[in-house]
């Protein structure tokens, strides 16, 4: 299952808009939806050369950036490898730096060697497709489009997007959360959480200083919006005549029951997103430390693939108690954070 940063409901809105503001964007969105459709149902697995799996740990990332040259074929022509000089191509160099920043967060803070924990090389392809309005993790590599130039700019501009997509790989290699319904919304939320933490870690921002925006800088100045999503205030990231208003709920009372987008995984992720920010704000300081450690311990612990919000919330409380003690401020913050979005800790599929 390919997991991409721009939700299909937003692309559909752009594609169907009867407006003269974004003619190229409308065509690009329709094309992107057509390209994404077969990947959403594909089951992709990793392949291993040879008869023996050998995991070699290292203290540094192993990056490789390829250029698709506007075609829809992967991986494309390799333009930069680990340790190589900058190419002068903004997209290629931003991808290279973003992969490194994501590796650094997981390595330095959580002791994880690459996204699989065993030194997996980090691969990315830029300039994918013609005016392709998305970025995605396909189970093996990151893929970035250049955007249409009217609604979206190049997708390598946002470090939170790079961290988000690579975290889908971390989830793939750890809990394997099913990409459907509440577990799918948690899958998306976890990618938003660590995508934001990659950005904050690189900028050494505290929770209070951070914007908590996912995809800030992706929209062109023509769009009335700041980002794809706001974790602190879900439902406020954009409000535009063509794109409409950000539809994310910020509380369980607003949970959207739908069959679209794998049961609303991009919509309903706003609920656990806000819960995390409430926890991070309550604990203060750098969110990748205590709040991030609790979420990381939960993600890499024993979760059922179909865990629901309540079950995940209970798992975060157990993780906080295991790391900091049952009567700790961390446990209190976790419980209060989930209560703040209407999710009951006790009960649910853990």
* 176 neighbors 257 (Cβ within 8 angstroms): no
> How many Å apart are CA 350 and CA 341, to the nearest integer?
18
Look up residue 200 and give its DSSP letter: H
Collapsing DSSP states into helix, strand and coil, what is residue 341? coil
- The pairing of strands 3-4 and 63-67 is unpaired
Taking only the tens of pLDDT, the chain with its 350 residues reads 556 767 777 877 787 765 567 778 877 877 777 676 554 434 333 344 554 544 444 468 999 999 999 999 999 999 999 999 999 999 999 999 999 999 999 999 999 999 999 999 999 999 999 999 999 999 899 999 999 999 999 999 999 999 999 999 999 999 999 999 999 999 999 999 999 999 999 999 999 999 999 999 999 999 999 999 999 999 999 999 999 999 999 999 999 999 999 999 999 999 999 999 999 999 999 999 999 999 999 999 999 999 999 999 999 999 999 999 999 999 999 999 999 999 998 744 33
Residue 54 has a pLDDT of: 43
Residue 267 has a pLDDT of: 97
Which CATH number is 3-46+57-173 given?
3.10.170.10
Backbone angles phi, psi at 66, to 5 degrees: -120, 160
pTM, rounded to two decimals: 0.84
Backbone angles phi, psi at 343, to 5 degrees: -100, 125
Distance of CA 32 to CAs 23, 154, 253, 265, 267, Å?
A: 14, 14, 32, 19, 19
Active-site option among 127, 164, 168, 266:
266
> How many Å apart are CA 103 and CA 194, to the nearest integer?
11
The answer to whether residue 150 is catalytic is no
Half-sphere exposure of 46 (CA within 13 A, CB side): 13
Which pair of structure tokens corresponds to residue 63?
A: 């990056």
The answer to whether residue 165 is catalytic is yes
Active-site option among 165, 199, 216, 330:
165
- The pairing of strands 135-137 and 63-67 is unpaired
DSSP states of 50-64: SSS------SS--EE
Residue 58 has a pLDDT of: 47
Q: 181-339 domain in CATH 1.10.390.10?
A: yes
Domain range summary for the chain, segments of one domain joined by +: 3-46+57-173, 181-339
Backbone angles phi, psi at 67, to 5 degrees: -120, 120
């Amino acid at each position: 299952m390919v997991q991409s940063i721009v939700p299909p409901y937003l692309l559909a809105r752009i594609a169907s808009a009867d407006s003269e503001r974004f003619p190229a964007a409308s065509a690009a969105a329709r094309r992107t939806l057509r390209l994404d459709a077969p990947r959403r149902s594909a089951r992709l697995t990793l392949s291993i050369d040879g008869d023996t799996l050998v995991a070699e740990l290292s203290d540094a990332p192993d990056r490789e950036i390829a250029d698709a040259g506007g075609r829809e074929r992967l991986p494309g022509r390799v333009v930069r490898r680990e340790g190589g000089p900058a190419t002068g191509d903004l997209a290629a160099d931003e991808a290279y730096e973003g992969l490194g920043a994501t590796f650094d967060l997981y390595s330095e803070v959580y002791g994880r060697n690459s996204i699989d924990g065993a030194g997996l090389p980090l691969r990315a392809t830029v300039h994918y497709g013609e005016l392709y309005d998305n970025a995605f993790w396909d189970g093996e590599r990151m893929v970035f489009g250049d955007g249409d130039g009217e609604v979206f700019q190049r997708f390598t501009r946002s470090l939170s997007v790079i961290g988000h997509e690579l975290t889908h790989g971390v989830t793939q290699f750890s809990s394997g959360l099913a990409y459907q319904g509440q577990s799918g919304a948690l899958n998306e939320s976890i990618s938003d959480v660590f995508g934001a933490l990659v950005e904050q870690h690189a900028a050494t921002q505290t929770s209070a200083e951070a914007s908590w925006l996912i995809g800030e800088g992706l929209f062109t100045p023509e769009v009335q919006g700041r980002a794809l999503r706001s974790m602190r205030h879900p439902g406020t990231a954009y409000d535009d005549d063509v794109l409409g208003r950000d539809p994310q709920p910020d509380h369980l009372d607003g949970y959207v029951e739908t069959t679209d987008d794998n049961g609303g995984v991009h919509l309903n992720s706003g609920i656990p997103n806000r819960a995390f920010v409430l926890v991070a704000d309550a604990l203060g300081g750098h969110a990748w430390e205590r709040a991030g450690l609790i979420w990381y311990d939960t993600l890499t612990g024993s979760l059922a693939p179909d865990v629901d919000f309540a079950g995940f919330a209970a798992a975060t409380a157990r993780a906080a108690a295991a790391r900091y003690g049952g009567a700790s401020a961390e446990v209190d913050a976790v419980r209060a954070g989930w209560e703040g979005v209407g999710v009951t800790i006790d009960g649910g599929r853990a």
